[in-house]
Structure 1
Amino acid sequence: MYFEFHGRRVAVNIPRRDLLDAEIRARFKARQGFALATVNLDHLVKLAESPAFLATYQAQDLVVADGRPIVWLSRIARRPVELVPGSDMVLPLCRLAAEAGVPVALAGSTEEALLDAEAALTAEVPGLEIAWCHAPSGRFDPEGEEADRILHRLEETGIALCLLALGAPKQERLAQRGRRLAPRTGFASIGAGLDFLGGHQKRAPAWVRATAMEWLWRAMSNPARLLPRYAKCLMILPGQMARAWRIRVR
């Protein structure tokens, strides 16, 4: 499944969860880094608005579908992909890291949230080594000196997996730069995944997620910030559905 903006494509190139696990295992074994992004409707809005974000997304090695609308669009196009939410990848990625015996870093959110996430992860994943936690400054710039220090430390210490909880587009941009400055590190952009794990944000109940209404749950939790975002997402859906149908008939 792919999406096209300004004549350039962004593809969901890992359509299933088992393929993602196999790819991550292979990269850990080869000590080869990666940048993993999770595309959703909000990202599609940003991709249409920002050529810079589009270039950043095209630089990601692995892209999965985060959000049921992406899955539905892939079915319309007859190029089906599985739902792989970024928040749900935290524990599986850490289990793969523990299995491979490679160290992990947590970056983003707040210091308190990272410490709570670290405690939850080490309790849940036997053998997991969390080698470093870093909560960036409030005005973190993925192009700035602090970002350089993060990436150099990851490279120097041989950390194989860095979970990025910085929000889009900062986390994807840092991952893009990390592919050059810390080429042995795998970067996974997981948004609020660490906050959910540490209990600093409350995720929608399982039944809400099962009915594809998590977006409404989140919108009601912070309407001033999220309702305008989701309104933009709903506005682009008809056009994306038409594009998916054109892919189908080709």
Structure 2
Amino acid sequence: MLERRVNLDGRAATADVPRITVGGLRMAALDLEATADFMIEATDPRHRIGRPLYLTSANGEVLARCSTEPQTERLFRAADLINADGQPLVAASKLQSWFPLPERVATTDLFHVVARKAEAVGRTFYMFGASEEENAAAVANVQRLYPNLKIVGHSHGYFRGDALRAKVEEINALAPDYLWVALGVPNEQAFVEEYTPLLTNVGVIKTSGGLFNFLSGSRSRAPQWMQKIGLEWAWRTWLEPRRLLWRYLTTNPRALYLLFSRKRPSNR
């Protein structure tokens, strides 16, 4: 696979993580708890690789976009680890493989598990992205939920040019163990590609999509029953039809095609 050939440091750091190819991308076959444990372990000084470990997530929309947007596909294949943030991906893997994805690893859930573990062992966060108002509200709620969690800094994501470079240098000087980047696909993946060389003091970068909107409380999660049967996209479309209806109408059919028409996934 392309991402395995070009990313030798990441390959060594994630060599023990089982993977399965679903819809054309190699996914980490880890459950939520194991993914959080991996992230905690990755920030141990003994396991640093001289640059941030880059973790991202894929759902049906991402699969569809990777199949039609070469730039987006390249950015995702450069990741050290990709989590399956979509129940249909889990379902498809169970139909196609003897070693399926154990469960969906939604970033919105993963954040809380990592926060609890980081709070216990003294790891640090930086939260970058969303609007200034959303970012501040998200950080305030996180600090309320996890009063002992060390958030060394936070910022909105509306920087460009020299201002963005200066912000990146500021983040690196603060040396957070985890940098949560919420700029949306593929902007956050492009951010990782461009600025990783300047973030050598960061342990893990986790792209986060709309995470801060959920943390701030401005958006609500779908009911559990909808999440379990893979209909969270329908809930989000109902809440934001103008923004999301056309997106899902165009990406969902292609994602289903990719999930159920590919050859048997390769396993590790």
TM-score by length of 2: 0.81
Partner of 2:235: 217
Matches within 5 A, 1:1-250: 1-3=20-22, 10-30=25-45, 32=48, 33-78=52-97, 79-81=99-101, 82-137=103-158, 140=159, 144-185=161-202, 186-236=204-254, 237-243=256-262, 245-247=263-265
Query: Unaligned regions of 5+ residues in structure 2, if any?
Result: 1-19
Q: Deviations over 1:73-105 (max 9, x none)?
A: 211221411200112122122223223313211
**CA positional deviation for 1:21:** 2.2
**CA positional deviation for 1:16:** 2.3
Give identity over the alignment, percent. 23
- Distance, in Å, in 1 between the alignment partners of 2:231 and 2:77 is 29
**CA positional deviation for 1:11:** 0.7
**CA positional deviation for 1:180:** 2.3
Query: How many residues are aligned here?
Result: 239
Q: Deviations over 1:121-141 (max 9, x none)?
A: 11211311111111122xx55
- Distance, in Å, in 2 between the alignment partners of 1:203 and 1:230 is 17
Contact 2:22–2:93 under 8 Å retained in 1: no
Q: Deviations over 1:181-213 (max 9, x none)?
A: 213321111211211121111222333323432
SS of the residue aligned with 1:247? coil
Contact 1:90–1:194 under 8 Å retained in 2: no
- Distance, in Å, in 1 between the alignment partners of 2:226 and 2:91 is 17
Q: Aligned partner of 1:222: which letter?
A: E
**CA positional deviation for 1:148:** 2.2
Q: Aligned partner of 2:85: which letter?
A: D
- Distance, in Å, in 1 between the alignment partners of 2:194 and 2:117 is 24
Query: Unaligned regions of 5+ residues in structure 1, if any?
Result: none
Worse-superposed segment, 202-211 or 97-106: 202-211
- Distance, in Å, in 2 between the alignment partners of 1:16 and 1:43 is 20
**CA positional deviation for 1:239:** 3.8
TM-score by length of 1: 0.86
Contact 1:88–1:193 under 8 Å retained in 2: no
